[in-house]
Structures are given as C-alpha cells and as structure tokens.
Amino acid sequence: WVEDRTIVLRPTVSMHGVNLVRAKNTRVLNRSEYNIVIVGSVQQRKGQHLIPIISELVAKSVRNVKFHIVGHIVNIQYKKEIEALVKTLKQEDKIVFHGFKEDYLAYMNSADIILQVSEEEGVSRILREAMALSKVIVSFKLDGTNDLLVNGEDCLLSEYGDLKNISKQIVELSKDKKLMKMLSINAINNFDKKYCKSQYLLQLKEIFKNEK
C-alpha cells in the first residue's frame, strides 16, 4: 500500500434482545443470592476451571454467592474435570452449570456481576452486552478487554491468573454499593458513547465518506 489503509469499525451488539430484557426487567435467578454469571462455551480457553477456586475464596466472605455458568458444553471431559474440582473444594452449592440457554441475556440481566475468566478474548460480545445491560464487569486484563474497558472506571480487571485479586474484587463489590453503582453507570455510558448502534452507523458513514 502507498499509505496506511487500516480501518477500524467498533462493533456494536444486536439490541433487540438487550432491549427486550431491559424493558421487561427479565430476571431468572434468585434475588436473595449474590449472582455471578459467566457466559461462554464450556472449554479450556474460556477458563471455567478457575471458577471453583474463585468460588472457594469468595465464599469465605460472601456466604450467599452463587456462580452461574451459562453456555454450550463443548468439551464434556473438561466439564467433568471442573465438577470433580467443585466436589473436592466443596463448592457444590455455589456453582451451577446451566448449559446452553437461548435466553442467556435474561441470566446476564439477573446478575450482580458478569465475570469473564477467559485466557484469550477478542472484543468480547458478552462484555459489550454486559455494558449495554449496565452490568458490573469483573475480568482479566486481556488485549481485547483492555480495548473495551478501563479498569477502575467501568470495570474491575486483574492480571491473568491472579485469582486472589479477582476474588478480592468480587468480595469488595459485594460490600460496596456505591462502587457497584458507579461501575454500572459508567459501563452503560461507555457503551452509549462508543458501541451503541447510532455510534456504529456514524463510524460506518465516516468510513464511506473518507473512501470517496
């Protein structure tokens, strides 16, 4: 190329489902529990094997915590290994596998926290949907996640594999309603500013304009 021709178009989300659960305030989880929802296919790179360890650490301080794993089971053996760890760490009453759910957005809308523990992600659709639902996000610092969010402003991030810190963040959130509210408000504001459909269309028009 004679010049740099790199074009970046920030992705949005399909707002139909998001607007539906927001309008109906659809909730499918027990409100008396502190619900942490993890959405993604159950496979090694999505990191669900870390959930039992995080659960054990968090449950010491948050007795009503419940981790909900929502997603298609890609690797049955991997799921069995997680279940064995759940049993070893005595977290059977804290962790639930829901499997694939067409209405996964309702589970996200029911969450106190959206947790992502993947070892690699692009610009995560789940995190964009979480932002659109004004949800508090806790995740690892990955390249794609860093492009979406700002630690301490609209989410809480930990270095990959730092389970003690990510567990500490979850406990802190359970005790700090002001922090929860601040992260929730900033998440939706970030989404509206950068990732909503109107912004997507503006970016697209600008790209076509510059290509003339």
**pLDDT score of 81:** 98
Q: What is the DSSP letter of 50?
A: G
* 179-207 tens-digit pLDDT: 999 999 999 999 988 887 777 777 787 77
Q: Which residues in 40-131 belong to E strands, given as ranges? A: 65-70, 95-99, 113-116
* 114-149 tens-digit pLDDT: 999 999 888 789 999 999 999 999 999 998 898 889
- Residue 212: which pLDDT band, with cuts at 50, 70 and 90? low
Question: CA-CA distance, 130 to 76, in Å (whole number)?
Answer: 27
pLDDT above 70 covers what percent of the chain? 97
* 7-43 tens-digit pLDDT: 777 777 888 888 888 888 878 999 999 999 999 999 9
Of 131, 122, 102, residue with least CA distance to 199: 131
- Residue 6: which pLDDT band, with cuts at 50, 70 and 90? confident
Residue 175, pLDDT > 60, answer yes
Which distant-in-sequence residues (6+ apart) come within 8 Å of 93 by Cβ? none
Report CA torsion sign: 49, 50, 55, 60.
positive
Question: CA-CA distance, 150 to 141, in Å (whole number)?
Answer: 10
Task: Record the pTM.
Answer: 0.90
Of 121, 87, 105, 132, residue with least CA distance to 37: 105
* 49-87 tens-digit pLDDT: 999 999 999 999 999 999 999 999 999 999 999 999 999
Residue 4, pLDDT > 90, answer no
